[in-house]
Structure 1
Amino acid sequence: MDNIEIKIISSDNWRDALALSVYDEQQKFVASVHPPAAIALAKAYIRPGGKMVEPYGIYNQKKMVGFFNLHYTPGSEEDYWLFHFFIDKRFQRNGWGSKALNELILYIKQNNPSSKRLRLTVHPENEAGRLFYLKFGFSEDNILTFDEPAFSISI
């Protein structure tokens, strides 16, 4: 069964998030530390820039297979950012990244109905990631954010 669910990271599942990883050559595309969820979970506590930062696990059949952070300003139409999005190396190439993005967009629409756009950045060397997001429907914004090209999609 290929159903994907997203669930907020809590005291019940944070250790599962820390157990996730990517291939060594993908690490720099997700986070500068290992495991990649560690910095993302820290950001949820620190809240850089005063934004809301919510960490989520991506689940298939009750097993966490991926992770992401959603950064946003509550009530904003444009300030919704996806960071540290990845599927664990054991579960890649199953289409779960696209399904997780679809679930995330539905979640934002339901919980933040004023939102109109989801944004993200892609590491300049991550050609596979760039092509993935373009195929999904994101467009290049032709600006750099945190020294990485920014992409966005209308939601």
Structure 2
Amino acid sequence: MIEFQKVTWKNFQECIKLELKEEQKNYVASNLYSLAQSYVALLNDDLPAMTFAIYAEEKMVGFIMMYHETAEENEFGDEACYGILRFMIDKRHQGQGYGKAALAKALAYIMTYPQGEAASVYISYAPENEAAKNLYKSFGFHETGQLIEGETVVKKVL
């Protein structure tokens, strides 16, 4: 069973030590960088980023960072949306179904509208990242035809 837990002083060091495989390191910013970004957002934005350590059976296996934007803030469309900005499963825990279970958990969480109503959810991935492409497609995400910083943008209507 997958759980999301807040990143706290108790699990901070473990979270920033999670790693991707060498060939995946260009796909996702480090968890340390992501947590720094969420801190800046906390101090400057109306709604802070939603960051969680991903746990399976009491063991930290990954990290996720989500956000909410109003229709006016949404750079990909004209509707209020959620986005998954960072999503990673540690190299030691890949291939065990945790990514799929964690994405299902993230979408269920988003459907509770924790920071407000939304019509869709967006995520992006490096075009060569076939695993991410296939995972997102299996959950009903479709390509928007947009690129952001060289990454393919996909959308799921809620």
TM-score (norm 1): 0.85
Contact 1:74 1:112 in 2 (8 A): no
Q: In 2, distance between residues paired with 1:145 and 1:97?
A: 23
Matched, 1:60 2:56: yes
State the match for 2:40 in structure 1: 46
State the match for 2:154 in structure 1: 151
The 5-angstrom pairing of residues 1-155 of structure 1 reads 3-31=1-29, 36-47=30-41, 50=45, 52-73=48-69, 78-110=80-112, 111-112=114-115, 114-155=117-158
Q: What amino acid maps onto 1:6 in structure 2?
A: F
Aligned length in residues: 149
1:115-142: CA deviation from partner (whole Å, max 9, x where unpaired): 2211111112212211221122211111
| 3-state SS, counterpart of residue 56 of structure 1 | strand
State the match for 2:76 in structure 1: none
Q: In 2, distance between residues paired with 1:113 and 1:45?
A: 20
Q: In 2, distance between residues paired with 1:125 and 1:20?
A: 22
Q: What amino acid maps onto 1:101 in structure 2?
A: L
TM-score (norm 2): 0.84
Q: What amino acid maps onto 2:38 in structure 1?
A: A
Q: In 2, distance between residues paired with 1:16 and 1:80?
A: 27
Q: In 2, distance between residues paired with 1:15 and 1:74?
A: 33
Percent identity of equivalent pairs: 30
Q: In 1, distance between residues paired with 2:70 and 2:16?
A: 27
Q: What amino acid maps onto 1:131 in structure 2?
A: N
Q: What amino acid maps onto 2:35 in structure 1?
A: L
Q: What amino acid maps onto 1:108 in structure 2?
A: I
Q: In 1, distance between residues paired with 2:98 and 2:139?
A: 12
Unaligned runs of 5+ in 1: none
Contact 2:84 2:123 in 1 (8 A): yes
User: CA RMSD, aligned part only?
Assistant: 2.2
Unaligned runs of 5+ in 2: 74-78
| 3-state SS, counterpart of residue 6 of structure 1 | strand
